[in-house]
Amino acid sequence: MSVIDVTDLRKAYGGRAAVDGVSFSVEEGEIFGILGPNGAGKTTTVECVEGLRVPDSGRVRVAGLDPVADHDEVTRVLGAQLQESELQPKLTVREALELYASFHRRPADWRPLAERLGLTDKLATRFAKLSGGQKQRLFIALALIGTPRIVVLDELTTGLDPRARRDTWELIEDVRAGGVTVLLVTHFMEEAQRLCDRIAVIDQGRVAALDTPAGLVRRSAGATVISFTPSAPLDDADLNALPGLASVARKDGRVTLSGTDDTVNAVITLLARSRVTAHQLRVTDATLDDAFLDLTESPA
């Protein structure tokens, strides 16, 4: 059953399309990622889901509700990570947690949440005195405090150190294990690969691909990468003629090719035919990073 449905969403700013016909559905209990380059329209899309922006056209439903017309009901089922400027600088962590808990009918106990997010020894600290990472953790706690059915996290772990990032991933996995659906905007491929069941890659306001992390890697043009240092120069024309080839790069005498299994077999045949030895030959699967670069256009 889907809990978020976005159909042909469009939103322009000053006549310029930021979101240009985006559609996707998020299933109950799923961790759904939205990935894309800067300015792709990710935040605009999730703000339409949260009811913070009014779409120009298209349809958005959250648990069957319209985020604009039914805003109050939507805030009861959906928790969203706040932006920094939305908290008073003098508010302490404890006050912020208590205040936000008071907004909800069924608030979570904020103590274990604060503990889990490493905020227990910061409860008396004012918001303005928190580090960037501590503020980030507080926003995550505030997003979860209303025991929402759905939580929207935009740039969840930006500004967190590697340990805090890993702890936060575990927390999100626990949250999902409790039945909460997670919509996650991220720039971190490792985060997307580790956490997301499915990912929509958004580029220039459109969905460029929607699949599981493994599916995205498989469908990218250069799913296999082969690199080696040839004992003698290889002809560009021979390399460019390889079947299934997606890209060729040369650096410091090393050749890196991406393509399919056919490309790998053909390059081995080519090396043998040319009597060239391949030093430090490596064949690896492409990563989500490679898929991302392949699926999104580089800026003009």
Ligand X SMILES: Nc1ncnc2c1ncn2[C@@H]1O[C@H](COP(=O)(O)OP(=O)(O)OP(=O)(O)O)[C@@H](O)[C@H]1O
Q: Is 147 left (phi over 0), alpha (psi -120 to 50) or beta?
A: left
Residue closer to ligand X by CB (options 13, 103) is 13
Residue closer to ligand X by CB (options 36, 213) is 36
C-beta of 15: minimal distance to ligand X in Å? 10
Cα-atom radius of gyration of the chain, to the nearest Å? Answer: 23
C-beta of 86: minimal distance to ligand X in Å? 16
- Within 63-124, strands assigned E span 78-80
Strands 2-13 and 57-62: antiparallel
DSSP state, residue 41: S
C-beta of 89: minimal distance to ligand X in Å? 24
C-beta of 205: minimal distance to ligand X in Å? 7
Q: Can you give the binding site for ligand X, defined by CB under 6 A?
A: 13, 18, 36, 38-44
* Residues sharing a CB contact under 8 Å with residue 5, sequence separation 6 or more, in sequence order: 25, 59, 60, 61
C-beta of 261: minimal distance to ligand X in Å? 34
C-beta of 44: minimal distance to ligand X in Å? 3
Through-space distance between the first and last CA atoms of the chain, rounded to whole angstroms: 40
Residue closer to ligand X by CB (options 9, 257) is 9
Residue with tokens 């294990």: 177
- DSSP letter string, 220-275: STT-EEEEEEESS---HHHHHTSTT--EEEEETTEEEEEE-HHHHHHHHHHHHHTT
Q: Three-state SS for 275?
A: coil
97 membership: H or E segment, kind and range = helix 93-102
Residue closer to ligand X by CB (options 18, 182) is 18
Distance CA 200, CA 208 (A): 7
C-beta of 14: minimal distance to ligand X in Å? 6
Residue closer to ligand X by CB (options 49, 217) is 49
CB of 80 closer than 8 Å to CB of 48: no
Could you give the maximum distance between any two Cα atoms of the chain, in Å? 75
C-beta of 61: minimal distance to ligand X in Å? 20
Nearest to 155 by CA among 45, 34, 4: 34
Q: Is 159 left (phi over 0), alpha (psi -120 to 50) or beta?
A: left
Q: Is 58 left (phi over 0), alpha (psi -120 to 50) or beta?
A: left
